[in-house]
Amino acid sequence: MSEAAPMDRLSFACPKCKRPLRSVDNALYCSEDNRTYPIAGGIPDFLSQVSLAPAALRIARVMDIVAPIYESRPFVSVLLKLSGVRAGPRFIEDIASFHVKTLQGVTGFVLDVACGPATYSRRIASPSRNVYGVDFSMGTLQQGMANIARDGMSGVRLARARVEELPFENAVFDGVICGGSLHLFPDTVLALREIARTMKAGAPMAVTTFVAGNAPLTRLMKRRKNMRVFQIPDLQQYLAEAGFEGFEPKLDGTFLTFSARKAMPRT
Ligand SMILES: [Zn+2]
């Protein structure tokens, strides 16, 4: 067992063997399997030697392109229209409020899965809550670093990693958020299990995603084999399989907001 990290910092772990990493010349090193992970522009890159699947590469490329406008009102309103969502112009702030509400009382470390340009990481960070954002698109992470610097924030750290191999030790996070990307993970249960691995028992998770419906975006997504369009009962089943409980869904058009908790160990 490793010692608990000090409150203000959580160390990254090797995404392969999950052991602590050693800092070397602008990189992190795993002596267990002799791997070096470079740090570029303050972003540890755990995917520099990983070949992403073609579907993931396509998504990463799209995200690289839209990163600078991802939080802009015109882009968000087009996305919402395509999703059949009735939400208003304060959409991002409303989702941020949902995340904050789910994390109410949570202090310590929060994981933002597929964090994009740190859109929600920045909005949920607080003096008592440090956020670790991971994404596989370097372009969005660089945009995220620029956003963090512009907002003068401390307490948000970003890394390039896959949800299937998170660069953290077991049971380190007090909460998790995952905004608008669960449907993009090829194997939902595998992704949820890996997220659960990094969470403390009873820790809450807030997720926004899409479910099956007749909106243009979900019709398009159904045709693309690399995107999942959920049915709520299936999602509930996936969460249970991955070790979550307390599923609380809320639907707006095809847009689903839900919270769940990592299950407590059975005694
Ligand atoms: Zn390792």
Model pLDDT for residues 4-47, shown as the tens digit of each residue: 444 568 999 999 999 999 999 999 999 999 999 999 999 999 99
CA of 35 to the centre of ligand 1 (A): 7
Q: Distance between CA 116 and CA 138 in Å, rounded?
A: 9
Question: Ligand 1 is a single-atom ion; what residues have CB below 5 A from it?
Answer: 14, 16-17, 30, 32-33
Confidence bin at 176 (pLDDT 50/70/90): very high
Count CB-CB contacts under 10 A for residue 56.
19
Q: Indicate the pTM of the whole model.
A: 0.90
Q: Distance between CA 204 and CA 263 in Å, rounded?
A: 10
Task: Between 6 and 108, name the one with better pLDDT.
Answer: 108
- The structure tokens listed for 109 are 């470390």
Among the listed ranges 117-131, 135-149, 189-203, 217-231, which one has the minimum average pLDDT value? 217-231
Do residues 167 and 157 make contact, with C-beta atoms less than 8 angstroms apart?
Answer: no
Measure CA 247 to chain center: 18
Alpha-carbon Rg for the chain in angstroms: 18
CA of 134 to the centre of ligand 1 (A): 18
Confidence bin at 87 (pLDDT 50/70/90): low
What does the pLDDT look like over 206-259, one tens digit per residue?
A: 999 988 776 676 666 666 666 777 889 999 999 999 999 999 999 887 789 999
